[in-house]
Amino acid sequence: MPASQAVPPTQSVLSPLTASALFLVVTVDDGGEEAVRELLADLAGLERSVGFGYPGGGLSCVAGIGSAAWDRLFDGPRPAALHPFTELAGPRHHAVATPGDLLFHLRATRQDLCFALAALIMERLRDAVTVVDETPGFSYYDNRDLLGFVDGSENPVGLAAADAVVVGDEDPDFAGGAYVITQKYLHDLAAWNALPVETQELIVGRRKFDNVELDQPGSHVDLNTITDPDGTEREILRDNMPFGRPGSGEFGTYFIGYARTPEVTERMLRNMFLGSGPTSHDRILDFSTPVTGSLFFAPAAGFLEDPPGPPAKGAGADAPPERSPGG
Ligand code: HEM
């Protein structure tokens, strides 16, 4: 069954790229679980409260839940492929795993709508969570990243996007959900901008001015074009956003990739950090350093509104709940 048919409605994982976004990652404090469960159940209502008055505002919020937090929040089965983010130590570059129990991925055409919804979320969670990262993102010129290249053009669309992103009957309890991997990258823009544009283009695998793809083995595009042994291309849906604070010299790309299984994004990350064939690593990493790395599961919309009960008291008393840096 393609994931696009007869699966419960997803959260807004398939929403288009917007002009503004806010990425909020928190850990759940001991004893904060019930407040989180209640907030998650009310999240769609809060989104309507803020967004309804601004029909063109495109406000959406996807909530993702990390591996360790899942067992603290819900009784019953867990998403089959949910696990902590896998740290990668390559020959030159390191994909770090950092704490993250909950991700809120807010999008809108205007930053004030993201801000307003995030404020309502935090009003409810203030005493229940610890914020580990809060990054507002913005679209930059014609959907360019801060390296100056158009980012997102090869994203799947329509049914192909749903098929790449939404869990289907391979995990029936969690159909309608999606896995999410996030990494916050900081760029060394001075070093990048010192390269000739032709060199930048060979590293990315696209022309800078007009975004035309280049046939360049070992480029970022090449390392992230992955196929199964039968030749089927495996895709993810990226909603990357630039962020930064020019006054502080901070320039970055917030990478966020949705996928039906984290395995696809993880293959891409291995190619980038550990290399593939004669390519030792993705040269984009010589100018871009990830400072976070987390994996979440964004359950179907109905799951959040009517979740299973909390884990039975004392569950895991013999075996404490898994706690790992990747959440
Ligand atoms: C510093 C962070 C990153 C930047 C600035 C960046 C930028 C880009 C750009 C400019 C493109 C070409 C246009 C497009 O198709 O979107 C691209 C393609 C792509 N990137 Fe990235 N990217 C980053 C990190 C990642 C990561 C961490 C992954 C996966 C784990 C990834 C996966 C992909 C994929 C799948 C494509 C499309 C390949 C194709 O043409 O089929 N990117 N990226």
How far away, in angstroms, is 7 Cα from ligand 1 center?
A: 28
16 pLDDT band, cuts 50/70/90, is confident
313 pLDDT band, cuts 50/70/90, is confident
Dihedrals phi, psi of 98, to nearest 5 degrees: -130, 160
Task: Give CA–CA dist 159/163, Å, rounded.
Answer: 6
Listing DSSP states for 95-158 in one string gives: E-----SEEEEEEESSHHHHHHHHHHHHHHHTTTEEEEEEEEEE--TTTB-TTSSB-STT---H
Active-site pick, 145, 151, 222, 239: 151
**pLDDT for res 3:** 46
Q: What is the 3-state secondary structure (H, E, C) of 35-94?
A: HHHHHHHHHHHHHHHHHCCCHHHCCEEEEEECHHHHHHHCCCCCCCCCCCCCCEECCCCE
151 is catalytic: yes
Q: Is the pLDDT of residue 222 over 60?
A: yes
Chain centroid to Cα 241, Å, comes to 11
Q: Could you state, in order of their start, the residue ranges of all structural domains in the chain?
A: 18-305
Task: Give CA–CA dist 222/206, Å, rounded.
Answer: 10
How far away, in angstroms, is 153 Cα from ligand 1 center?
A: 9
237-238 and 250-259 beta bridge pairing: antiparallel
Which residue has 């917007």 as its token pair?
18
**For ligand 1, atom 43, which residue shows the shortest CA distance?**
151
314 pLDDT band, cuts 50/70/90, is low
**pLDDT for res 95:** 98
115-172, pLDDT tens digit by residue? 999 999 999 999 999 999 999 999 999 999 999 999 999 999 999 999 999 999 999 9
5 pLDDT band, cuts 50/70/90, is low
Q: Three-state SS for 14?
A: helix
- Which residues have CB under 8 Å from 165's CB, separation 6+? 3, 10, 13, 14, 156, 178, 236, 237, 258, 259, 260
Task: Give CA–CA dist 119/125, Å, rounded.
Answer: 10
**CB-CB contact of 179 with 259 (8 Å):** yes
**CB-CB contact of 200 with 207 (8 Å):** no
The length of the chain in residues reads 327
How far away, in angstroms, is 32 Cα from ligand 1 center?
A: 36
- The first and second tokens of residue 38, run together, are 């209640």
Residue among 85, 141, 255 to mutate when testing ligand 1 (max atoms within 8 A of CB): 255
Task: Give CA–CA dist 67/72, Å, rounded.
Answer: 9
**CB-CB contact of 155 with 161 (8 Å):** yes
| Count of other CB atoms within 10 angstroms of residue 162 | 22
- The first and second tokens of residue 318, run together, are 């013999």
4 pLDDT band, cuts 50/70/90, is very low
Q: What is the mean pLDDT of residues 268-286?
A: 98
Which residue has 């990054």 as its token pair?
135
> Any residues with Cβ below 6 Å from ligand 1, and which?
145, 147, 149-154, 183, 185, 204, 206, 220-221, 224-225, 236, 238, 253, 255, 257, 265, 268-269, 284, 288
Q: Three-state SS for 194?
A: coil
